[in-house]
């Protein structure tokens, strides 16, 4: 029997594949991604990460079990340590000015991403937070694993892949899936509809974000 999380992924299969095999990710793995594209992406994504951290914090507060709280607490620790350090080192390497690190002009897609996460965190249920977080992280695991064997020479490319293609991150995504699958039987039809809508929105935004950052 197909799990609830897997059903949500399959319902968005075409968009999912566009995100996971996007030219941005392929060129990242090949080490051929232009610095201007990588710089634009990281500047916008860092603002996304800031709100993502807040949403995960809401998830810790709303999780009904200690296992769920521990899962998201571990994710918060990674976001605010190794991943944050990667961004700062990459900004230095790519010559990103201070203003663009802290208060850049946001692309409309980045604004939509931030709004979706902020709303899920503050207004959504625990299941809705999971449905917002899971597709974002699962897609990154998917494309990361596809590019993992390439080992591009520059750290700004290689380490971004490594952060999303390692056993710990894989276990985290699996944990999110299990959390959502465990909750699924307790959700009403209306709850499931809201969860599915948040999931699809995030998949749509992943595709739109890669498109926007790649094309400029």
Catalogue all structural domains in the chain, each as residue range(s) with its CATH number. 4-215 (1.20.910.10)
What's the helix, strand, coil split of the chain in %, to 5? 85, 0, 15
Question: What confidence tens digit (pLDDT) does each residue in 139-164 have?
Answer: 999 999 999 999 999 999 999 999 99
**Residue 124 pLDDT greater than 90, yes or no:** yes
pLDDT band at 188 (very low <50, low <70, confident <90, very high): very high
DSSP 97-148: -HHHHHSPPPPHHHHHHHHHHHHHHHHS-HHHHHHHHHHHHHHHHHHHHHHT
Q: E strand or H helix at 91, and its extent?
A: helix 84-94
pLDDT band at 130 (very low <50, low <70, confident <90, very high): very high
pTM: 0.97
Predicted local distance difference test score (pLDDT) of residue 141:
98
- The contacts found for 43-48 with CB under 8 angstroms, 24 or more apart, are 43/91, 43/96, 43/100, 43/101, 43/104, 44/104, 44/106, 44/107, 44/110, 44/209, 44/213, 45/110, 46/87, 46/101, 47/104, 47/106, 47/110, 47/114, 48/110, 48/113, 48/114, 48/117
Predicted local distance difference test score (pLDDT) of residue 75:
97
**Residue 208 pLDDT greater than 90, yes or no:** yes
Question: What confidence tens digit (pLDDT) does each residue in 21-50 have?
Answer: 999 999 999 999 999 999 999 999 999 999
- Average pLDDT for 178-206: 98
pLDDT band at 106 (very low <50, low <70, confident <90, very high): very high
Please report, for the chain, how many H helices and E strands are present, in that order.
12, 0
CA–CA distance, 138 with 20 (Å, rounded to integer): 10
Question: What confidence tens digit (pLDDT) does each residue in 46-105 have?
Answer: 999 999 999 999 999 999 999 999 999 999 999 999 999 999 999 999 999 999 999 999
- Average pLDDT for 202-206: 98
**Mean pLDDT score of the chain:** 97
**Residue 1 pLDDT greater than 90, yes or no:** no
């Amino acid at each position: 029997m197909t799990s609830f999380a897997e059903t949500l992924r399959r319902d968005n299969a075409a968009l999912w594949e566009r995100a996971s095999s996007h030219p941005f990710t392929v060129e990242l793995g090949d080490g051929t991604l232009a610095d201007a594209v990588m710089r634009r992406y990281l500047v916008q994504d860092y603002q996304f990460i800031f709100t993502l951290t807040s949403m995960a914090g809401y998830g810790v507060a709303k999780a009904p079990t200690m296992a769920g709280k521990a899962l998201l607490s571990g994710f918060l620790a990674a976001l605010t340590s190794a991943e944050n350090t990667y961004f700062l080192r990459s900004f230095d390497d790519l010559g990103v000015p201070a203003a663009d690190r802290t208060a850049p002009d946001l692309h409309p897609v980045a604004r939509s991403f931030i709004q979706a996460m902020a709303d899920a965190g503050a207004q959504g249920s625990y299941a809705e937070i999971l449905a917002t977080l899971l597709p974002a992280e699962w897609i990154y695991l998917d494309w990361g694993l596809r590019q993992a064997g390439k080992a591009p020479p520059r750290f700004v490319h290689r380490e971004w892949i490594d952060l999303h293609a390692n056993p710990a991150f894989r276990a985290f995504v699996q944990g999110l899936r299990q959390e959502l699958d465990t909750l699924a039987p307790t959700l009403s039809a209306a709850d499931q509809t809201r969860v599915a809508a948040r999931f699809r929105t995030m998949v749509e935004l992943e595709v739109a974000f890669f498109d926007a950052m790649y094309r400029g």
